[in-house]
Amino acid sequence: MWKLLVADDEPKIRRGIVGLFDWSSLNIQVIGQAEDGEVALKIIEEERPDIILLDICMPFLSGLDLVEKIRSRLSTSIIIIISGYDEFAYAQKALKLKVFDYILKPIDSDMLGNVIDKAIKELNKIKEERSYLDWSNKQIEDNSEALKQSFLSNWVNGRLNYEQLLDELNFFDIKFNNNLGIMVLTVVERLSLVVSGNNWQKKTLNFAITNIVSEVLSNWTTVLAFVDDEDNIVIIMDTENNLEWFGLCSLIEEKIYNYLHYTVIVEQKRVNNILSITESYKAIIEGIARKVKYKPVVLLAIRYINKNYFVNDLNLEKVAEEFEVNPSYLSKLLKQQTGMSFIDYVTNIRINKAMCIMEDPSVKIYEVAELVGYSNQHYFCKAFKKVTGFSPSEYRGGVISS
């Protein structure tokens, strides 16, 4: 039943209103009567009535002042003002406070009956809307993960404009800082023959890989992961620490191989803003598509180089020995499939890592050189200029700042 409160400082009027109708036949229960505003407020806070018949002029707390307090507590309560004053100023203020209706004394039973009837219809409408809202919220809650996956897919595929993207991020309460990165993982099936007998379903495998990635990234602030239409695992995340960020690929590849005995290709890019995610995603996917066509030994060699690029004496013979192949054969395959010689490939990896490290102004140039495998700063500077066209100091002073 709907709950009704009658508040008027005149006992005769209160009794008259209560006795005017068979309230139970209207599905209404009179839960209280109040002789002043303070008593009315106490009943309202305790009983939370649906309909409030309220005299505009009462002791201690006037009807209009009480309306203001009610609105801050019960936004959906139907408030019907009763007044002995036929003054426009009262009606105007009552309307501003969003009262439901305004009735003058002496109260006409037909008029009050019509107002109560309208109030009941309004309450039923509010109830239906609330039920639908509750249902909608439950649907969203139950399907939130699927909705988020759909949003992330639309984001990386460029189906959202800037305003739509911001709305979705706000809806899911996702906040990124200015350092944003995207990472894509794909399984190289032909390098995972050791576990072919397990016959893992793709969905199960992706779930296992995602759990490992989540474990590796557990200390990072904002991390979003989903599986794209081609069964690649895509991760969008804050990139707070450059050195840690660019060590994640090798770490994730190693963890997945150790736990699941699957070989994965992991590629990553830093971006400057949320709209750049789409372009970077497409570039990574194109790069992965080329890599998965490489011969297994080339993929293994590349993974070894990516993991050990900072080793000063990293050379072709050492990598070839690791995989028990002829150095000349490995060099030829690398050139054929990557378009670069062994030296050029290692140099490019090192310089790309160096460029990222140099975004941190506190790291000296000689320290950058050592971090990417150069014991001699002169050789590092020469290699850096060959790859980028700038010296390290020119790059740090001009390109990054611009």
Q: Which helix (H) or strand (E) holds 147?
A: helix 144-156
Q: Alpha helices, DSSP H only, in 53-161?
A: 63-73, 88-96, 109-142, 144-156
Nearest alpha carbon to residue 57 among 79, 30, 84, 18: 84
The CATH number of the structural domain formed by 2-141 is 3.40.50.2300
Q: Does pTM surpass 0.85?
A: no
- For residue 169, how many other CB atoms are within 10 A of its CB? 17
Q: Are strands 51-55 and 180-187 parallel, antiparallel or unpaired?
A: unpaired
pLDDT of 153 reads 92
Q: For domain 294-402, which CATH number applies: 3.40.1190.20, 1.10.10.60, 3.40.50.720, 3.40.50.10490?
A: 1.10.10.60
- Round to whole Å and give the CA distance between 324 and 275: 45
User: What is the 3-state composition of the chain as percent helix, strand, coil, each rounded to the nearest 5?
Assistant: 60, 15, 30
DSSP classification of residue 107: P
Nearest alpha carbon to residue 152 among 193, 182, 194: 182
What size, in residues, is the chain?
402
* 20-59 residue pLDDT tens: 899 999 999 999 999 988 898 899 889 999 999 988 878 7
DSSP classification of residue 269: E
pLDDT of 397 reads 78
Decide: residue 380, CB within 10 A, 0-12 exposed, 13-18 middle, 19+ buried. Answer: buried
pLDDT of 6 reads 93
Instruction: Assign 391 to helix, strand or coil.
Output: coil
Cis peptide preceding 106, ω within 30 of 0: yes
The answer to whether 248 and 268 are in contact (CB under 8 A) is yes
Q: In what order do the strands lie in the sheet with 51-55?
A: 28-34, 2-7, 51-55, 78-83, 101-104
CA quadruple 167, 173, 178, 184: dihedral positive or negative?
Answer: negative
The position carrying tokens 């599905």 is 27
Which residues, given as ranges, of the chain have pLDDT below 70? 85-95, 132, 134-143, 190-200, 241-242, 398-402
The position carrying tokens 């290709």 is 265
pLDDT of 197 reads 46
pLDDT of 344 reads 94
The answer to whether 158 and 278 are in contact (CB under 8 A) is yes
- Round to whole Å and give the CA distance between 229 and 150: 11
Rg, the chain, Cα only = 35
pLDDT of 402 reads 45
Q: Are strands 2-7 and 28-34 parallel, antiparallel or unpaired?
A: parallel
**Distances in Å between the alpha carbon of 356 and those of 150, 264, 359, 397?**
31, 23, 6, 14
Topology match between the domains 143-291 and 294-402: no
**The CATH homologous superfamily of the domain defined by 143-291:** Reverse transcriptase/Diguanylate cyclase domain (3.30.70.270)
Domain spans, the chain: 2-141, 143-291, 294-402
